[in-house]
């Protein structure tokens, strides 16, 4: 997906006209560009600060040389580069499709035949890479893009020849933990060879087949250890694929198949250029991404067949509109649509379009998509109540410029229901912004739908880093990420002066959340030069006594648990049984009645970081708390005040837009821009965002503690020094 260019962005680079942003990171920006001949390219531009480093420039020059040497239909082609420019750049053919990571994350694991076809084509790409004397060294789902005519292996940034001098220190692991080989994980084991890429390909195919990495998730250290010592988790891999993956994932490089043999073992009947080997949902995702190109500036539809001067009627175009598979077969990956049908097809694929020319006044509405009836229903209902209170208060204002409605969608915390609810919400042309959903899983299920409709989505409670793994055009994150919420734990411990190493226990029952929390805590502790004693336990571990005993024997002077509230309760009881009363901390997931109920008195004294407040204990929220009690007959739950603030943020920007447009309502796209540039002082915190991606730019982490079996709000958590 593309985002708009920022005022600081150049209009062209190396003869490429820039059309939008494909992504941005710490090292630079990737733009969507257009060549003088009209072709689309991805232009990777490195920041001048990095280019000033001679070693970095040498690595970038090597990336260009490596990528240019690879010629394969399944590897992205280099179209231009200037590694000597003040800001070095590299242009490659643009692939208008999702990454394998996104496709599996959104659509689920691929069937066996799809994985075999994918494996064959990627094995052929690696055969060409290795034939040029190169080793890719970062074969992972994020580095495989799915196009209409097959996958593309991208990012040769750390590829190198067998005789290259390694431009990294001896103890640096190059690659992505969880998708690298044992020889890469063992930095003293010598440089990885071509067999290393085969191992990584095996990890990638296992992920495609099961939806999870074969060595699990967790801290980098834990992943590296399991890669070297543990057998891969291949449960759920179907017949016809299991033996192939086992051979690819052999610990001994000599026992792995070479790409030529692997490609031969994975032969499937999938004609080149066909998408029939992919599930319908993935094909639809590829089609939607391809169709988005029609909305980019100055990309004019190419006439694929002649039409008469008048052209078909709109009803005729509706009848002739092809299926996504047919559309892709006709376009051949270049998104070539007949001029007469291009706009109609784009509108059908995109959905949720605005048309301010509709006669007569239309109601203004904001939506709340939340879990109102499932396992996270308490948080979802609190958000709906907070947003509704804000809307009702606005509608009682004298002289208000419009009446505001609230629309709700109960997804029950189920991703499939969430996706259907998002489509219904997006199809309601009167809904101008949506708050929600409640959980990470449901948020990931709906981000694409809201983005297609350019409908602002403001997440109040979902907080995983995976929400920011891709740049969305209409997303606003109204809270710090889960990782950011864990940062103050290390700040607190650095100020506490506790003796001994900090024990950090990652419970894999907490899945991605536990990994993020443990990883950022460990990183911050190292930044503060505090000694660390990390441990990881498998998911579902009931008896935590041995690991707690081991950590106490190591002399830990404080304890951080990253996992779920039930696991935290077990840890709390084990620590209490030994009389351990030194600092005990946990991230937000533990702030749950399950923890205090199951831990009992052992929970007292624990400190928990969270992205939400207790409005009943917050002086600035006194008026809100009073109004909430009057409206609902009970005190506000967690996230009610945050949703109230978020709704008022939206209302404030709608009022400004109405004044600027003399009573006219803004389009959804206009509202996205207004919201991303806005600031709002709510009763809980100050809201602000990074305009380029909608990520939260304010401070909003709070500490709670447990006293007499109940959580007590302590206030704002300490921030790291600037």
Catalytic positions: 138
Contacts (Cβ under 8 Å, ≥6 apart) of 62: 159, 160, 164
Q: String of b and e for 371-386 (b: at least 16 CB within 10 Å)?
A: bbebebbbbbbbbbbb
Q: What is the CA radius of gyration of the chain?
A: 27
Distances (CA, A) of 62 to 83, 158, 187, 675: 9, 8, 21, 42
Which of 340, 354, 336 is CA-nearest to residue 291? 336
SS3 per-residue string spanning 591-625: CCHHHHHHHHHHHCCCEEEECCCCHHHCHHHHHHH
C-alpha span between 704 and 715 (Å, rounded): 7
Residue count of the chain:
722
Could you tell me which residues come within 8 angstroms of residue 289 by beta carbon, excluding any fewer than 6 positions away? Answer: 1, 96, 97, 98
Task: Give me the DSSP letters along 326-375.
Answer: HHHHHHTTS----TTTHHHHHHHHH-----TT-SS---EEEEEEE-SSST
| Phi (first) and psi of residue 280, to 5 degrees | -55, -40
How crowded is residue 359: how many other Cβ atoms within 10 Å of its Cβ?
A: 5
200, 203, 209, 214: CA torsion to nearest 10: -170
Peptide bond connecting 291 to the previous residue in cis, omega within 30 degrees of 0: no
Element (H, E) at 43: strand 40-46
Q: Are strands 150-153 and 364-370 parallel, antiparallel or unpaired?
A: unpaired
Q: What are phi and psi of 714, to 5 degrees?
A: -100, -30
Residue 350 Ramachandran class (φ > 0 left, ψ -120 to 50 alpha, else beta): alpha
Partner residues linked to 475 by β-bridges: 457
Q: How far apart are the C-alpha atoms of 152 and 311, rounded to whole Å?
A: 37
Measured distance CA(142)–CA(466) in Å, rounded: 12
From the list 52, 41, 51, 53, the residue with the least C-alpha distance to 16 is 41
Which residue has tokens 């706009």?
Answer: 343
Token readout for 526 is 């190292």
Rounded Cα distance between 432 and 425, Å, is 10
Question: Residue holding tokens 């590897």?
Answer: 75
Distance CA 332, CA 329 (A): 5
Residues sharing a CB contact under 8 Å with residue 49, sequence separation 6 or more, in sequence order: none
Which phi and psi (to 5°) does residue 296 adopt?
-75, 150
């Amino acid at each position: 997906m593309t985002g708009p260019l920022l005022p600081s962005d150049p209009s062209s680079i190396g003869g490429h006209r820039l059309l939008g942003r494909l992504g941005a990171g710490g090292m630079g920006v990737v733009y969507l560009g257009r060549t003088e001949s009209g072709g689309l390219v991805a232009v990777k531009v490195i920041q001048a600060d990095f280019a000033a480093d001679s070693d970095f420039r040498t690595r970038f020059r090597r990336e260009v040389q490596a990528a240019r040497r690879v010629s394969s239909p399944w590897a992205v082609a280099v179209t231009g580069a200037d590694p000597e420019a003040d800001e070095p750049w590299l242009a490659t053919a643009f692939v208008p499709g999702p990454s394998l990571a996104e496709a599996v994350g959104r659509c689920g694991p691929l069937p066996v035949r799809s994985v075999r076809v994918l494996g064959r084509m990627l094995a052929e790409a690696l055969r060409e890479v290795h034939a040029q004397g190169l080793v890719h060294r970062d074969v992972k789902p994020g580095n495989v893009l799915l196009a209409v005519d097959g996958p593309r292996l991208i990012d040769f940034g750390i590829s190198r020849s067998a005789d290259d001098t390694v431009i990294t220190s001896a103890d640096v692991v190059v690659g992505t933990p969880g998708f690298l080989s044992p020889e890469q994980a063992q930095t003293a084991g010598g440089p990885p060879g071509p067999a290393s890429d085969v191992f990584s390909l095996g990890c990638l195919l296992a992920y495609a087949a099961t939806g999870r990495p074969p060595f699990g998730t967790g801290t980098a250290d834990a992943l590296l250890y399991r890669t070297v010592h543990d057998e891969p988790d291949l449960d759920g891999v179907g017949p016809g694929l299991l033996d192939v993956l086992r051979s690819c994932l052999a610990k001994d490089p000599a026992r792995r198949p070479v790409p030529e043999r692997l490609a031969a073992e994975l032969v499937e009947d999938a004609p080149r250029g066909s998408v029939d080997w992919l599930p319908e949902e993935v094909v639809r995702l590829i089609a939607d991404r391809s169709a988005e190109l029609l909305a980019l500036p100055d990309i004019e539809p190419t006439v694929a067949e002649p039409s008469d001067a008048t052209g078909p009627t709109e009803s005729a175009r509706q009848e002739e509109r092809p299926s996504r598979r047919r559309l892709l077969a006709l376009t051949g990956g270049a998104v070539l649509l007949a001029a007469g049908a291009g706009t109609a097809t784009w509108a059908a694929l995109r959905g949720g379009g605005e048309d301010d020319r509709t006669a007569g006044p239309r109601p203004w509405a904001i939506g709340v998509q939340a879990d109102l009836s499932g396992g996270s229903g308490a948080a979802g209902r609190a958000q709906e109540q907070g947003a509704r209170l804000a809307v009702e208060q606005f509608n009682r204002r004298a002289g208000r410029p419009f009446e505001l409605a609230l629309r709700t969608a109960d997804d029950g915390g189920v991703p499939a229901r969430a996706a259907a609810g998002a489509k219904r919400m997006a199809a309601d042309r009167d809904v101008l912004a949506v708050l929600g959903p409640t959980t990470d899983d449901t948020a990931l299920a709906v981000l694409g739908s809201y983005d297609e409709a350019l409908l602002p989505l403001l997440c109040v409670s979902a907080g995983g880093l995976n929400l920011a793994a891709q740049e969305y055009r209409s997303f606003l994150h109204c809270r710090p990420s889960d990782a950011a919420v864990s940062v103050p734990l290390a700040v607190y411990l650095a100020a506490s002066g506790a003796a001994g190493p900090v024990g950090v226990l990652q419970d894999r029952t907490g899945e991605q959340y536990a990994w993020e929390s443990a990883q950022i805590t460990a990183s911050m502790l190292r930044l503060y030069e505090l000694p660390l004693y990390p441990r990881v336990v498998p998911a579902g571990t009931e008896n935590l006594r041995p690991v707690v005993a081991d950590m106490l024997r190591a002399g830990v002077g404080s304890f951080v648990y990253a996992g779920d509230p039930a696991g935290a309760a077990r840890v709390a009881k084990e620590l209490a049984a030994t009389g351990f009363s030194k600092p005990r901390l946990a991230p937000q997931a533990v702030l749950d009645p399950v923890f205090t109920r199951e831990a009992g008195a052992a929970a007292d004294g624990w400190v928990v970081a969270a992205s939400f407040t207790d409005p009943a204990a917050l002086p600035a929220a006194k008026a809100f708390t009073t109004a909430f009690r009057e409206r609902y007959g009970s005190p506000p739950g967690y996230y009610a005040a945050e949703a109230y603030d978020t709704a008022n943020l939206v209302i404030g920007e709608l009022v400004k837009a109405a004044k600027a447009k003399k009573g006219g309502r803004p389009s959804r796209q206009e509202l996205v821009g207004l919201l991303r540039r806005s600031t709002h002082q709510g009763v809980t915190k100050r809201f602000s965002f990074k305009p380029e991606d909608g990520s939260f730019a304010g401070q909003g982490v709070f500490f709670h503690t447990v006293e007499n079996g109940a959580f007590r709000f302590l206030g704002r958590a300490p921030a790291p020094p600037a």
